[in-house]
Every structure is written in C-alpha cells, then in structure tokens.
Amino acid sequence: MQPAPVTIGVISDTHARALGDIPAPVLTALAGVDLIVHAGDFTERAVLEGLRTLGEVKAVCGNMDSAELKGMLPRQDLFVVGGKRVGLIHGSGAPWGITNRVRDAFHDADIIIFGHSHQACNRFLRGSLLFNPGRARDSFGILEIGDEIKAEIMPV
C-alpha cells in the first residue's frame, strides 16, 4: 500500500506585521495542508507565530526580516518530505539569474523552494523542480508529494 500524498502549502514574501495581513484565501488554503513552508520575508515574528497556529511550519529568513527572525531562522534548509529532498532558501540579488543561483545552493535536492523575486516560478532546472509561489498577496503554491510531484501556483 502506497503512503498518502503529502500536501504542502507554500508562501513567501508576506511582508506583513500580523497573520491577518495575509489574504484570507491564502490562510484558508494553508489551514488544510500537511505542512506550511515559508520562503522568507515574513517581516515580523508575529506572522511566523500565527502560521504555527495553523499547522507545522518550515521556514527560512529573508533579507527583509527583522533581526529577531534572522536570529531564529536559518538562511537555508534541506529536509525530506514524502521521500523527496526539499531545499528551502529565500534567494538574493536581482530577479534575473535567481533560478541558477538557488539551484546552485542545493546539489542533491528534488525540489527547491525559494522566494525573493516576487515572481512565481514552477519549472525544472538541472533535475530539480524550482518552485517560487510569488508574493503572498498575489499568489501561493500547493505541492503534492506522492509517487509524483504535483506543483501548482494559485492566484489570490
């Protein structure tokens, strides 16, 4: 018997002071997933703590996060979900070339989740799925990891 697929809600670049600043459709979707992944730029710790009331959260810090968040969260992470290696990083620099930079940060990841550019991305590069949900006020992502990886960018 195959294990049930794992559903991950992916957000980034919330740039918010509180959970209530995130659009309601995003929060509704996140409340129904197995894991919430935030790719940085929460801005304030209250957003992270609010997401934790909805479910388990994996997160990294971004360049716009408070000093408190930068002290609490790693700059990048690698974890396993549903048997797949998931790299998580905010990203840096200009939007052009960001996919190559984040791909180079993880040599053996099946999926690389990133943010920073505010531009959604859902494509394969050198054997890894690169997934950026875009800016949270505009879009978020749903990943389903089972026998296959299904990835979708959801407009708000």
Residue ranges covered by each domain of the chain: 6-155
pLDDT tens by residue, the chain, 156 residues: 667 899 999 999 999 999 999 999 999 999 999 999 999 999 999 999 999 999 999 999 999 999 999 999 999 999 999 999 999 999 999 989 999 999 999 999 999 999 999 999 999 999 999 999 999 999 999 999 998 999 999 999
- Give the pTM: 0.96
Q: Which backbone phi and psi does 8 adopt, to 5 degrees?
A: -120, 130
Q: Which backbone phi and psi does 13 adopt, to 5 degrees?
A: 50, 50
Q: Are 140 and 29 in contact (CB under 8 A)?
A: yes
Nearest to 11 by CA among 141, 150, 117, 130: 141
Out of 1.20.120.550, 3.60.21.10, 3.40.190.10, 3.40.30.120, the CATH code matching 6-155 is 3.60.21.10
